[in-house]
Amino acid sequence: MEKKIESLQWADPSPAGLVALAMACFTFFAVFSGRVDASATPLLGIWLLGGFVVQIAVALIELREGNVLGGNVFLFFSAFFMFVTGSEQLIKFMMAQDGIALDGRIDGWAWLVLAIALLTWTPAYLKKSGAVMSLCVLALDVAVPLIALKDLGVFGTGEAAATATLVIAYALLIAGIFGLIVAMATVLNKSLGATVVKLPGPIVK
């Protein structure tokens, strides 16, 4: 029985992980672009915790199948982008109801690490992944460092902060759209056994 389980090949879970990523990107676009107000914060937290469930499963399967890049990216996305951020949304909302202010600059230091990791891993995506997935990552390369700098208070509270927030919003929207395209192509092509949606190859040959 043990040998049979070990020889079982897992299906590609990355489309579900990309849908979860797109959900996070779209909802944060709504937040950063001012399309929803602060009352949506706890709802956002619950959606992100749902995304954590999806992405931790994707990460473990990807790592089990030997995908170092995708498995590790989904692993830290599930933990920090989804679970931590989702939990924080709920905590911050509850604290705000009691008039308790939290020093959000600690988030900036944490996001800075995530930004550096993503930026330094990007060449692997440019070489190993198709162009659309690479564009998704490049859009995140814009959004994540700006989120870190915003939380660190680098932009202050004036016009620079407003501009950075808008750039973050649209970079996340773009990343989400590209993620959905890759998810769609992967599911349709593999399920139907034909190239229904043809995506370009890697940017770096």
> pLDDT per residue over 100-131, tens digit each?
888 889 999 999 999 999 999 999 999 999 99
SS3 readout for the chain: CHHHHHHCCCCCCHHHHHHHHHHHHHHHHHHHCCCCCHHHHHHHHHHHHHHHHHHHHHHHHHHHCCCHHHHHHHHHHHHHHHHHHHHHHHHHHHHHHCCCCCCCHHHHHHHHHHHHHHHHHHHHHHHHCCHHHHHHHHHHHHHHHHHHHHHCCCCCCCHHHHHHHHHHHHHHHHHHHHHHHHHHHHHHHHHHCCCCCCCCCCCCC
pLDDT at site 97 = 87
pLDDT at site 8 = 66
pLDDT at site 19 = 98
Beta-carbon-side half-sphere exposure of residue 35 (alpha carbons within 13 Å)? 11
Beta-carbon-side half-sphere exposure of residue 114 (alpha carbons within 13 Å)? 28
Q: What is the pTM of this model?
A: 0.91
Residue-level length of the chain: 205
> pLDDT per residue over 38-73, tens digit each?
899 999 999 999 999 999 999 999 999 999 999 999
**Nearest-CA neighbor of 143 among 163, 178, 172?**
172
Indicate the average pLDDT of the chain. Answer: 93
Band (pLDDT 50/70/90 cuts) for residue 1 is very low
Q: What is the mean pLDDT of residues 140-151?
A: 97
Band (pLDDT 50/70/90 cuts) for residue 157 is confident
